[in-house]
Amino acid sequence: MLIAVGLMGCGGPAPTPGVSGARVYAESCSVCHGADGEGTADAVPPLARHLPRLAQDPDGRAYLVRVLLWGVVGPVDVEGQAYDGVMAPFDHRSDAELAAVLNHVLTAWGNDRRLAAGHRPVTAAEVAVARREPLSGRQMRERRPRGPAERGAD
Ligand code: HEC
């Protein structure tokens, strides 16, 4: 599974060598969030444009790492649109795979241009720390940052 190194060689130095975030995205995420990160109307929130905003919240980075591990359940407001769905946990994926896919969605579709100056790529070590504290999707909903994530484009 992990031998697909070098197929997608462009895009600068990877913080998780040997793992392609784009590949993990295509395998596990695009069915819902779409190849273009635009989500599915009324059912699945977009990741394009939205994630850099979420990442800028003081609690956003911790939330993003954990939402990939443990999912999230319950009503969320994304860029002014309400969703009430289920994001499944992906804790069966390795730390390196989750870091890679998170770095992919934070930088794909022009999101890289919206990240705060000084944004650092997510590391597998950050995922490993978060993995030590299993959370339910409901607990993740309670931890979801308010503010920039829900305010939408001002
Ligand atoms: C089965 C469909 C499905 C798949 C597969 C899926 N997601 Fe999600 N995702 C959702 C839904 C639905 C939500 C919103 C959950 C809610 O309403 O509480 C969500 C929420 C999110 C959020 C949080 C957004 C926010 O503002 O809180 C992120 C980040 C995310 N998904 C990334 C991913 C990534 C990366 C993958 C692949 C590893 C993935 N998702 C796979 C359906 C999916």
CATH number of the domain enclosing 97: 1.10.760.10
**Alpha helix (H) residue ranges in 1-154:** 21-28, 30-33, 50-56, 60-70, 95-107, 124-131, 137-143, 148-151
How many structural domains is the chain composed of?
1
Domain membership flag for residue 14? no
pTM of the entire structure? 0.89
Domain membership flag for residue 42? yes
Cα 137 to averaged position of ligand 1 atoms, centre (Å) = 11
Given a cut of 50, is residue 153 above it in pLDDT? Answer: no
Domain region containing 142:
21-146
Say how many CA atoms lie within 13 Å of 82 toward its Cβ. Answer: 3
The enclosing H or E element of 78 equals strand 72-78
Q: Whose CA is nearest to atom 34 of ligand 1?
A: 29
Domain membership flag for residue 153? no
Cα 43 to averaged position of ligand 1 atoms, centre (Å) = 10
151: which 2 tokens? 């305010």
- Residue 69: the pLDDT is 98
**pLDDT, mean over the chain:** 88
Domain membership flag for residue 44? yes
Domain membership flag for residue 41? yes
Question: Is the Cβ atom of 32 under 6 angstroms away from ligand 1?
Answer: yes
Number of H helices, E strands in the chain: 8, 2
Domain membership flag for residue 112? yes
Given a cut of 50, is residue 11 above it in pLDDT? Answer: no
Q: Whose CA is nearest to atom 3 of ligand 1?
A: 32
Q: Greater confidence, 146 or 99?
A: 99
Q: How confident is the model at residue 10 (pLDDT cuts 50, 70, 90)?
A: very low
- Residue 148: the pLDDT is 53
- Residue 116: the pLDDT is 94
- Residue 128: the pLDDT is 98
Given a cut of 50, is residue 58 above it in pLDDT? Answer: yes
Domain membership flag for residue 4? no
Question: Is the Cβ atom of 26 under 6 angstroms away from ligand 1?
Answer: no
Domain membership flag for residue 115? yes
